[in-house]
Amino acid sequence: MNRIGLRIVLVCVAVLMLADFIFRGIVPAPDTIRDDFSELYVGSWLWRHGQNFYDAALTRDTATQLTNSKVNLVLIYPPTALALMAPFSFLPWRWANTVWLVLGLVGIGITIALLIRLAGFPPWDDRAWVLATFVLAFSPLHQAFHMGNVALVAVPLSFLGIYLAEKKQDLAAGIILSTATALKPQVGLWVLLFYLIQFRKRFIAGALLPAAGLAVAFINYPVPLRVLISGYRRNLQYWFGPGKLIGFTEGAMPFHVNSSQVILYQLLHRVTATTVLAHGMFACGLAIWAFAVWRARFRMSVPLAVSSLLVLSFISFYHSVSDVTVLTLALCWAYGEGQEAMNWAKRATCVIFLLLMLPGHSALIRSAPHLSTWVTESWWWRLLVARYFIWLLLALNAVLLYALVTSARAGRAMSLAAEGPGAERAELETWR
């Protein structure tokens, strides 16, 4: 396919994806209840009025009053997210929902622009067009948009923080990444940690500013802290307890829970053993990551280092499907950074992302009711087919961690060679 033909195809795909965002998302927004954003909206309204946002009965009644929703809202969002989202609670639900999705669409555009910048592509490069179209077609991003998930804002904020940090604008980067962490800790925290462990003073100062502001906002909050903590624990048990929807035992949602505990439990059949093994896998991966980063003295691909840390968190910590959008950062290393050869790890990463892009969850949800029970109740369906997304994330973990270690080794060798023979001998003596 020639260049013009490629661009015509990419533009057509992009237009179709944008039409999905606009006509299935923004246009019907005034009359649509979106589970994720409605929780944020109701919770932030309760926070602004000094009430207990972790009281399930209160949130349900408030949701009925504000949004006419009959959904049982049980909040587990952090209080910091509710405080930051409070401005939306001044608007009527119809307007707030519409404004949030318009902001989300702008966030998608910013996400694409930042990925292209981080990959080092000129805007007119064909690879920039391919990357932009891929992101627009990425299934987890569509799920985030249609659920009104806060990842629509947390992901572009995280990418913006990385971009500014790499431009040495540490104060602004710290503020932005701290804000992203307050909105969605599962996404922003790992990026924030990557720069905190570099002990960059201006970055640390910037990160403390939003933290201090939010701490002040919660001073003298009318609901006692112990009451909020107690309610939060009850809500966690409602969602993550044995047999609950987002847990990993029997009774969990059949397709949308993405932590490794879901498949480990099917093999071990013990809650404690499953939890210990999952966290052990994460700890081992984190130790390897930390060793590689330390050995390389952070002289490595930042998209590779950050995305490998992010995907490690999917092993044992809760993430929604929407959160997978942040992992597209890995494409800046795999598909971008053209000065390096396209090795097997980069090819494998691109293949995994192509599989993650497909709307597999939607296909499974629609097809499962029409299949025989001997298929949907079989071990291979529940372990392999229904949980294919988890296997892909585990594969991505292995590939990115291997690539990071290899990159760190190569970077360290080049650094020692540049420093001269004495540095290389000193390195050997250190490890004896």
Instruction: Give the model confidence (pLDDT) of 262-294 as tens digits.
Output: 999 999 999 999 999 999 999 999 999 999 999
Instruction: Give the model confidence (pLDDT) of 399-410 as tens digits.
Output: 999 999 998 887
CA 140, CA 338: separation in Å to the nearest integer?
A: 26
Boundaries of every domain in the chain: 3-217, 253-431
pTM for the model: 0.92
What is each CA distance from 134 to 109, 328, 377, 400, in whole angstroms?
Answer: 13, 10, 34, 20
CA atoms within 13 A on the CB side of 259: 21
CB contact at 8 A, 96 and 88: yes
pLDDT of residue 252 exceeding 80: no
Tracing tokens 């307890």 back to the chain, one arrives at 241
The Cα diameter of the chain in Å comes to 73
Mean pLDDT lowest among 128-132, 181-185, 288-292, 362-366: 362-366
In the structure encoding, which two tokens stand for residue 193, read together? Answer: 């940690």
Mean pLDDT lowest among 218-227, 267-276, 330-339: 330-339
Instruction: Give the model confidence (pLDDT) of 22-58 as tens digits.
Output: 888 888 877 777 678 999 999 999 999 999 999 999 9
Residue-level length of the chain: 432
- Measured over the CA atoms of residue 262, residue 264, residue 265 and residue 270, the dihedral's sign is negative
**Mean pLDDT of all residues belonging to the chain:** 89
| Higher-confidence position of 273 and 298 | 273
CA 284, CA 277: separation in Å to the nearest integer?
A: 10
CA atoms within 13 A on the CB side of 253: 14
